[in-house]
């Protein structure tokens, strides 16, 4: 991939995340400004943690890899680590499986970036 394409994707994900952060912050200010229990910035901290957790859970998906291929890859990697010899590695096993990404990678990245930005806004407004 070209660097320009990668930078464009990062800028697009960051701009989407920044717009989500601003919308959520203004919703928090409008709903929680009269509330004495929690302030809007504290709610932003809690939402940032939740967005990070959900984003990482979406990124930790199998990505469409067959469950048996995943087990075989883990077993071969473990055998190579224990015995120290070359075994049939995960790359050879993954070639046998038709790997197509079915995970929510983009949504996970956007949620992680949004969570990081929410936490940054929280710590900047302390």
Q: What is the greatest pairwise CA distance in the chain?
A: 65
Report d(CA 118, CA 47) in Å as an integer: 8
pTM of the model: 0.69
- Averaged pLDDT, 37-61: 89
Length reported for the chain: 126
Give yes or no for residue 36 having a pLDDT over 90: no
pLDDT at 60: 75
Q: What is the pLDDT of residues 59-112, one digit of tens each?
A: 776 555 666 666 776 677 676 666 666 666 555 555 554 444 445 778 888 999
* Domain ranges for the chain: 1-33+40-61+103-126, 62-102
pLDDT at 63: 58
């Amino acid at each position: 991939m070209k660097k320009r394409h990668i930078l464009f994707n990062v800028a697009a994900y960051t701009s989407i995340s920044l717009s989500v952060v601003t919308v959520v912050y203004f919703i928090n200010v409008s709903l929680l400004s009269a509330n004495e229990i929690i302030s809007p910035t504290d709610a932003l901290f809690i939402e940032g943690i939740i967005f990070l957790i959900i984003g990482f859970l979406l990124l930790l998906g199998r990505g469409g890899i067959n469950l048996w291929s995943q087990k075989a890859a883990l077993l071969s990697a473990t055998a190579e680590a224990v015995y120290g010899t070359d075994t049939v590695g995960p790359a050879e096993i993954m070639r046998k499986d038709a790997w197509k990404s079915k995970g929510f990678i983009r949504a996970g990245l956007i949620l992680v970036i949004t969570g990081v930005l929410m936490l940054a806004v929280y710590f900047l407004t302390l």
